[in-house]
Structure 1
Amino acid sequence: MGLADHRPRLRRRRRAQHLRLCACDARTLEPSGAHVTDAISVARGVSWRVLHTFFTNKAFLLPSVAFPLFFFTAFVGGLSRITQVPGFDFPAGYTAFQFVFVLLQSAAFAGVFTGFGIARDFESGFMRRLMLAAPNRSGILLGYVFSALIRWATVAAVVTIVALLAQMKIGGNGVDLFGLYALALLLNLAGTLWATGVAMRLRTQQAAPVMQMPVFLLLFFAPVYVPLNLLQGWIHGVASVNPITALLEAGRGFISGSPELALAAFAIGVGLIVGFGAWAVRGLRRAEAAG
């Protein structure tokens, strides 16, 4: 009697496994053009949902904007006398000096906050339904990455306007400013891919510290308040090997009109994207295997 009760359940399980295998075979046999179209379609749907939630929910929008503005106001307003320290000779002034850090910080944390959203989608069960419905699951990853980019662009626009209202001096030309924002974009992509990989593996909001803390430490073990040459002791040694330092130095060179370490900074940014891109893709595959 017990075996008979379990037979319908076993048949349903076998049928579900068969349908999943057929779906995988169908995706394998799809033309490459249809495969790309499916990925774009999924990415469009995912990014629209994420951005709609972000722009219509103050609980998500306000912290994303207030966090970098708080740091910008606190650093520029409370630490401006650092410019009087012997050896501090940044030509564009302390407002521009800190603006570069806040811009890069906002880019990285826009990616981290996107990872929080992915973990929340796993806990709510939405991600499981999305993976079952998506004809090309790579589009899920693309959708989250694109939404993180738009989120950061919104925050960056607000921070830039506030900095200009604070009479920030800009010594660089249009090409230099393009380089600055391009560096921030690379860091945004790297932060998003890092957080996505963590969220896909752990699939819980309790993973938030794992996503956030490494990024926070990398940012604040860089020359945040003074140039690298004014740091002393162990913090100088750590900052010298910190990859974020090159991005900060290059960004500050761009805004002051004296670019330096630009090639190294872009190489580091691309390297981070490649490495964390592989990390995120493997995380997606692990989430698929987990069901």
Structure 2
Amino acid sequence: LNGSHPRRIKLTAPNINLSLDQSEGSVLSDDNLDTPDEIDINVDDLDTPDEADSFEYTGQEEQAATKDASQEESESIPEYTAEEEREDNRLWRTVVIGEQEQRIDMKVIEPYKKVISHGGYYGDGLNAIIVFAACFLPDSSRTDYNYVMENLFLYVISTLELMVAEDYMIVYLNGATPRRRMPGLGWMKKCYQMIDRRLRKNLKSFIIVHPSWFIRTILAVTRPFISSKFSSKIQYVNTLAELREMIPMEYVHIPD
């Protein structure tokens, strides 16, 4: 071992003959494949689900339940009766103004129908007193203000035609009316233009009670658009006592 090289020993591997066929001596021969002819399984040892783990198909029951719920829901929807249909029809009024058919939404103007009323008669015959109370006009802050005023305009014009048979006067009550309820210049101009020629001719007087500076200004601005005959019919009255001296007040409703 002193300075000499280590001794190497050469080993020879034995001959091993492996064959994949089933001939004698092969690892796949019947002698080496020890498989039982029968498989012995103990059924009692198997883990089988009990009744609690069983699954039942309930598709038909769910469909039936859904159908029943839908049927109950449809039965809960009230039917549209003939009475309700007639009621809805009463919410709209068809009128003819200027030879054109118009429809009025009566539901939206219901709170403002007091704006025009019949105040009785004056003089001889059927000379009507038409009262226009500006305090019953809608507030201009409403989001649907223009829509309400358009329908109210149609209502006022059509009602005026029904109330007037012969000569008439209009009493415009302006007292206690806030600025936000005052009708606009365009609305008043439209009313005048849409009034039938017969109504313009038969109007004998337009009395403004408690005129404000705003009303006087509007009338001054609109003067170029109206006839001189109509301008001559405008009268200003500062008190109700003064109005009583001009017309009978028995049927004239003065708002509180």
Common fold by TM > 0.5: no
Q: TM-score scaled to structure 2, two decimals? A: 0.23
Q: TM-score scaled to structure 1, two decimals? A: 0.21
Q: Normalized per residue, which structure has more helix?
A: 1
- Higher gyration radius (CA): 2
| Higher relative contact order (CA closer than 8 Å, sequence separation 6+) | 1
